[in-house]
Amino acid sequence: MKKRLTFVLGVLFLGMSLVLSGCSNQTGLTKVKLSEVTHSIFYAPQYVALTQGFFKEEGLDIELSNGQGADKVMTAVLSGQVDIGLAGPEASVYVYNEGKEDNSVVFAQLTNGDGTFLMGRKPDPNFKWSDLKGKNVIGGRKGGMPAIVLQYVLGKNGLIAGKDVLIDTTVQFAAMPGAFIGGQGDYVIIFEPTASSLQKEGKAFIVASLGKESGEVPYTAYFTKKSTIEKNPDLVQKFTDAIYKGQRWVASHTPEEIAKAIKPQFPEEKDEILVSAVKRYQQQNTWKIDPVLNEKDFYLLQQIIQDAGELDKIAPYEKVVTGKFGEAAIKKLK
């Protein structure tokens, strides 16, 4: 009886230890569940951090999933289904403004601008933004970064969304390419490598870059719950360090080298598609060279969202963003 009790207590202790270990696995690495808004070459520094072993160097085992939309990624983070989300910082602004106590906090910025390309039904080397007058553009979720930046770009070119150009926000993010191929809309905005693949197949053609036209905007960033940062800052720091290593690697390598490094994440894509997509993103300064989301850029983003009619009040930087992990990574990895 005594031996049986000892065995039961031992099993219970082991179970509690596994629960309290922060999901450490048999390899000695800490498992981190990461949900990305979509799977795109747009996030090359992240994939480099995975394939070049930068996360493992920091003792992390990343379990990557595709959330297929910022709203779904945010839901997964807030509900505890995943530890960290990658999506537009606007999602964290919305959550804070809703008054959620354990709100999401942005701790590292990945991309420096829009990663979508405007695609039409035929090649148009002489495309002008004024050509969109009277047209319908499939633009992603209402209030999401793709639709917001599209509206911003239209405004810069003297076009009013809803009056001069209709932005269709009824199509689910993952369904946008299929909807366009099926005949919906006159134009669509698409990330790489899907954009290059559609063009190669002759199903749609890139006519303009939203990233080039919009300029620098803090488009995609990592966030987690405020309680996660308070309880496990070391994990957040290690994650940020790995991302910074990926950013530095991408900044110092050729499109061909980057394409080769991220190939395991896109095994079905042809090498030429990967290289051309990486070149496009490099040429328009897509990837941020460090993980710090600066205050002025955060307020610029909110101004763009407010101008789009999607934001009633400006959220304070210090409540939604922290730069301490990015700054520590830069200092440590000089």
d(CA 267, CA 211): 26
How many CB atoms lie under 10 A from the CB of residue 121? 16
Helix (H) or strand (E) holding 178: helix 176-181
CA atoms of 168 and 184, how far apart (whole Å): 10
Q: Which run of H or E residues covers position 120?
A: strand 116-120
Domains and CATH numbers, the chain: 28-113+217-332 (3.40.190.10), 116-214 (3.40.190.10)
Q: pLDDT confidence of 173, banded at 50, 70, 90?
A: confident
CA gyration radius for the chain?
21
Q: What pLDDT score was predicted for residue 25?
A: 54
Question: What is the enclosing helix (H) or strand (E) of 106?
Answer: strand 104-111
Q: What is the band of 334 on the pLDDT scale with cuts at 50, 70, 90? A: confident
What stretches of 178-268 adopt beta strand conformation (E)? 187-191, 205-209, 220-225
Confidence of residue 199 (pLDDT cuts 50, 70, 90): very high
Three-class DSSP category at 161: strand
Mean pLDDT across 148-163 = 95
Give the residue carrying structure tokens 């006519």.
207
How far apart CA 223 and CA 82 sit, in angstroms, is 11
Average pLDDT over residues 160-172: 95
Residue 329's pLDDT is: 98
- Model confidence at 40: pLDDT above 70: yes
Is residue 11 predicted with pLDDT exceeding 60?
A: no
Identity of the residue numbered 64: L
